[in-house]
């Protein structure tokens, strides 16, 4: 076999260079061919394969654009404050504090401490997202597809998020319910959840980090997706340096609840010497 020796294995590995470019991070990110920002500002450029995951620590003010190029991505997102993992995305507060179960541009992703983790600044999908169902689990994927282990043909979202968490010093207990982008769910009049699916190829959302964050993303089918096959297409992730939301920005004062969350965030940052 060509890989039976160390030299053969090395030559085989080097021969793969470039063959997985569509599902690997671009390093450096500034080599991305068509950046959505000023030259030199791109800090993260990656295409996440269906059934895979990614993670990154980003600075306050970073803007992160998620894009569904082919129409069957589903980005299951978790956010933790960098260095303070006990403050993390709280989907229940994100929904109830803002009196809205549906994610749209202009809404805030809130922590369990009433602070803003990220702002949803743009959305081209007409709100085809979900803040209610969280991601798939080992048990549900095993029952549905025959397996849900992270290295199987049908990995579960929670199993992949566990791997992403471990690579950032986080434990499974640090993983709350996630948000899902690009596959929608609505609540019917009788209270049942209805899967509305994708808005189609090319949809994107842009998030703005309002604190230093650890970002975890699993790209797997939505747990309510009715298709019998495990269907998940690539997810594009681009991030660039920008600036956080500041007083005077329309988003800061869009609602009384949002303004209070921004003030809570600003107070914490001020106590750390951050303005």
- Residues 205-223 have pLDDT tens digits of 999 999 999 999 999 999 9
> Mean of the per-residue pLDDT values for the chain?
93
CA distance 26 to 87: 30
User: How high is the pLDDT of residue 7?
Assistant: 78
Question: Percent of the chain having pLDDT more than 90?
Answer: 85
Q: Is residue 140 pLDDT above 90, yes or no?
A: yes
User: How high is the pLDDT of residue 263?
Assistant: 97
Please give the residue that has the higher pLDDT: either 13 or 150. Answer: 150
Q: Is residue 4 pLDDT above 80, yes or no?
A: no
CA distance 90 to 98: 12
Among candidate residues 201, 189, 174, 198, the one with its CA nearest the CA of residue 89: 174
Among candidate residues 45, 23, 24, 12, the one with its CA nearest the CA of residue 234: 23
Among candidate residues 183, 193, 179, 180, the one with its CA nearest the CA of residue 110: 179
Q: Which runs of E-coded beta strand occur in 33-92?
A: 42-48, 52-58, 63-68, 75-81, 84-88
CA distance 91 to 101: 9
**Tell me: the pLDDT tens digits for 12-40?**
767 766 555 566 789 899 999 989 998 89
**Tell me: the pLDDT tens digits for 38-61?**
889 999 999 999 999 999 999 999
Please give the residue that has the higher pLDDT: either 133 or 272. Answer: 133
User: How high is the pLDDT of residue 28?
Assistant: 93
Q: Which runs of E-coded beta strand occur in the chain?
A: 42-48, 52-58, 63-68, 75-81, 84-88, 108-110, 116-123, 129-130, 179-181, 184-187, 193-197, 203-209, 213-219, 235-240
**What pTM was estimated for this model as a whole?**
0.93
Please give the residue that has the higher pLDDT: either 37 or 178. Answer: 178
Listed by start position, the domains of the chain span 41-271
């Amino acid at each position: 076999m060509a890989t039976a020796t160390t030299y053969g294995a090395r030559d085989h590995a080097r021969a793969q260079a470039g063959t997985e470019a569509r599902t690997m991070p671009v390093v450096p990110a500034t080599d991305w061919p068509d950046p959505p920002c000023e030259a030199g500002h791109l800090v993260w450029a990656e295409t996440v394969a269906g059934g895979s995951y990614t993670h990154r620590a980003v600075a306050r003010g970073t803007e992160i654009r998620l894009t569904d190029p082919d129409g069957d991505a589903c980005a299951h997102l978790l956010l933790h404050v960098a260095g303070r993992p006990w403050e993390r995305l709280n989907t229940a507060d994100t929904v109830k504090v803002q009196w809205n179960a549906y994610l749209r541009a202009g809404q805030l992703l809130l922590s369990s401490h009433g602070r803003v983790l990220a702002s949803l600044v743009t959305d081209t999908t007409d709100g085809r997202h979900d803040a209610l169902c969280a991601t798939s689990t080992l048990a549900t994927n095993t029952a549905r597809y025959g397996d849900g282990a992270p290295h199987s043909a049908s990995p579960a979202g929670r199993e992949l998020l566990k791997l992403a968490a471990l690579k950032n010093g986080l434990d499974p207990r640090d993983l709350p319910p996630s948000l899902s982008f690009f596959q929608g769910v609505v609540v019917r009049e009788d209270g049942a959840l209805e899967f509305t699916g994708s808005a189609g190829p090319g949809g994107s959302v842009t998030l703005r980090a309002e604190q230093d964050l650890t970002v975890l993303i699993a790209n797997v089918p939505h747990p309510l997706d009715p298709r019998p096959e495990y269907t998940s297409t690539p997810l594009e992730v681009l991030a660039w340096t920008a600036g956080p939301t500041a007083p005077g920005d329309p988003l800061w004062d869009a609602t009384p609840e949002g303004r209070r969350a921004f003030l809570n965030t600003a107070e914490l940052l001020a106590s750390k010497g951050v303005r």
